[in-house]
């Protein structure tokens, strides 16, 4: 399947990366560290995309330890595992941030770097949700699903914002900087406290807040909220604020160009439509929710990564906003199949409903894994096709540097081109042709 038509490829040469990072931690702490220390550890012949991919491998290693020690997301791991998660995530953040500096100093900046970087970040999002759930002993249930929803929506909205504003905007407190550092601290502190069970106790009681203060009693449901629940409350507030801020940015940018903002807001519809199927499927199939949530999270993450990848590609080559995601089709079939028995049981209208072809046992689990396999195939073909197309058109390699930068080479080429134009002008004048 062709994802980028040849007639749109010339738009790649008009690409210019634009970003705004308002984070004070990034400006005064991380960027000086990256520029003065970290970047010197990478050789000049190492491609920026290879740095990005290497950083992602630390997260993959973290995920493999999760599968080995805590596949159900509700058990304590050895202490060293949590420390390794903290180190792996910090290294991922570092490598992900340094790739841009490496691209500039090796003169390899281009649209492929943005696509590759966002694609890796999209895959990392769902893996980090599982790691966070494992660090909190959240288990396989709705709390993990809610965390996944918030994380994927944040990434989707940020990419949607960039598509319309043409600028990647990071606030004073943002996910790629402060969000990751908070997770690093959570993983490290989990190890220090001896396991994830620590987060399942009441926050207020743990820090010594009495339930009755000045004659006023804190309700039991609020007083008994554990650390994890408070994380989710805080995450909900940040999610709402970030979504509203991105919507404000998009509306402002489109109005400045004279475009209608109402159409841009429709770009959020694919995400919520997809998640209506996700929630419906998990509600109709509690066996998947409580026993096989890890592979389903990977499937949902790939669905979102595909949508985000389509948006980034459309941004690079100036295509229309991508509303369609083919991966929703098997998910919708799963919902329709599971809905039939429910309608038969709870609807008084005779004849409304149908027997499930998959049931709720081994065949349903097999179907869910088939959806995951299809998602891997679709997203994999998308990534390979787009990368190969861009590399062929721009005459570059993805993970190695095809044309190393030589100082003064560009100046020599420019001088040669000017000299060639001068010779043509002289030759034209010699033949009686007037030159302008």
Q: Pick the closest to residue 125 from 169, 73, 175, 88 (CA basis).
A: 175
| 202 alpha carbon, distance to own chain's centre | 31
Antiparallel, parallel or unpaired: β 168-170 and 19-21: parallel
Task: Please spell the DSSP secondary structure of 319-360, one letter per residue.
Answer: PPP----TTHHHHHHHHHHHHHHHHHHH--STT-----SSTT
Number of CB atoms found within 10 A of residue 145's CB:
23
Residues 107, 118, 164, 292: which is the catalytic one? 118
Is 197 assigned a catalytic role? Answer: no
Question: Which contiguous run of DSSP H or E holds residue 406?
Answer: none
Q: Is 75 helix (H, G, I), strand (E, B) or coil?
A: coil
Q: Is 168 helix (H, G, I), strand (E, B) or coil?
A: strand
**CA–CA separation, 30 vs 47, rounded Å?**
22
Question: What pairs with residue 20 in β-bridges?
Answer: 169
The two structure tokens encoding residue 256: 């400045």
The two structure tokens encoding residue 352: 């409304």
**CA–CA separation, 322 vs 306, rounded Å?**
10
**CA–CA separation, 436 vs 434, rounded Å?**
7
Hey, what long-range contacts does 38-43 have (CB within 8 A, 24 or more apart)?
Answer: 38/94, 38/98, 39/98, 39/101, 39/102, 39/105, 42/98, 42/102
- Indicate the DSSP class of residue 2: -
The two structure tokens encoding residue 103: 């691209």
**CA–CA separation, 149 vs 322, rounded Å?**
20
- Most distant CA pair in the chain, distance: 103
Task: Please spell the DSSP secondary structure of 76-87, one letter per residue.
Answer: PPPHHHHHHHHH
Antiparallel, parallel or unpaired: β 212-213 and 216-217: antiparallel
Task: Produce one character per residue of 335-373: b if its CB has 16 or more CB atoms within 10 Å, e if not.
Answer: bbbbbbbeeeeeeeeeeebeebebbeeeebbebbeebbe
Cβ partners under 8 Å of residue 428, min gap 6: 435
- Catalytic positions, please? 118
């Amino acid at each position: 399947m062709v994802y980028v038509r040849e007639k749109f490829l010339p738009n790649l040469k008009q690409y210019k990366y634009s970003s705004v990072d308002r984070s004070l931690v990034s400006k005064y702490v991380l960027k000086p560290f990256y520029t003065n220390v970290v970047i010197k550890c990478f050789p000049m012949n190492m491609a920026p995309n290879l740095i990005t991919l290497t950083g992602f491998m630390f997260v993959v290693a973290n995920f493999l330890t999760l599968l080995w020690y805590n596949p159900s997301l509700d058990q304590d791991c050895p202490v060293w595992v949590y420390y390794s998660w903290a180190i792996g995530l910090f290294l991922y953040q570092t490598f992900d941030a340094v790739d841009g500096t490496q691209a500039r100093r090796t003169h390899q900046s281009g649209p492929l770097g943005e696509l590759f970087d966002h694609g890796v970040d999209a895959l990392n999002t769902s893996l980090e949700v599982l790691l966070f759930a494992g660090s909190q002993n959240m288990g396989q249930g709705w709390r993990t699903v809610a965390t996944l929803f918030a994380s994927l929506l944040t990434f989707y909205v940020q990419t949607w914002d960039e598509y319309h504003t043409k600028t990647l905007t990071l606030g004073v407190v943002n996910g790629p900087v402060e969000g990751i550092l908070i997770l690093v601290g959570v993983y490290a502190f989990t190890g220090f406290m001896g396991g994830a069970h620590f987060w399942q106790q009441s926050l207020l009681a743990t820090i010594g807040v009495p339930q009755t203060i000045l004659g006023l009693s804190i309700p039991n449901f609020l007083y008994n909220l554990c650390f994890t629940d408070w994380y989710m409350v805080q995450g909900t507030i940040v999610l709402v604020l970030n979504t509203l801020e991105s919507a404000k940015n998009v509306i402002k940018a489109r109005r400045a160009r004279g475009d209608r903002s109402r159409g841009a807001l429709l770009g959020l519809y694919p995400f919520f439509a997809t998640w209506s199927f996700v929630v419906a499927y998990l509600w109709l199939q509690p066996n998947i929710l409580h026993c096989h949530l890890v592979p389903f999270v990977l499937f949902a993450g790939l669905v979102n990564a595909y949508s985000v990848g389509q948006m980034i590609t459309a941004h690079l080559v100036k295509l229309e906003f991508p509303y369609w995601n083919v991966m929703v089709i098997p998910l919708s079939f799963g919902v329709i199949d599971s809905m039939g028995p429910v309608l038969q049981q709870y609807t008084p209208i005779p004849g409304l409903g149908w027997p499930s072809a998959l049931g709720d046992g081994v065949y349903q689990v097999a179907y869910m894994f088939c959806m995951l396999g299809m998602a891997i195939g679709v997203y994999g073909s998308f990534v390979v096709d787009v990368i190969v197309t861009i590399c062929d058109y721009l005459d570059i390699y993805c993970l190695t540097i095809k044309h190393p930068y030589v100082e003064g080479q560009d100046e020599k080429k420019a001088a040669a081109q000017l000299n060639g134009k001068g010779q043509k002008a002289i030759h034209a004048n010699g033949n009686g042709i007037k030159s302008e």
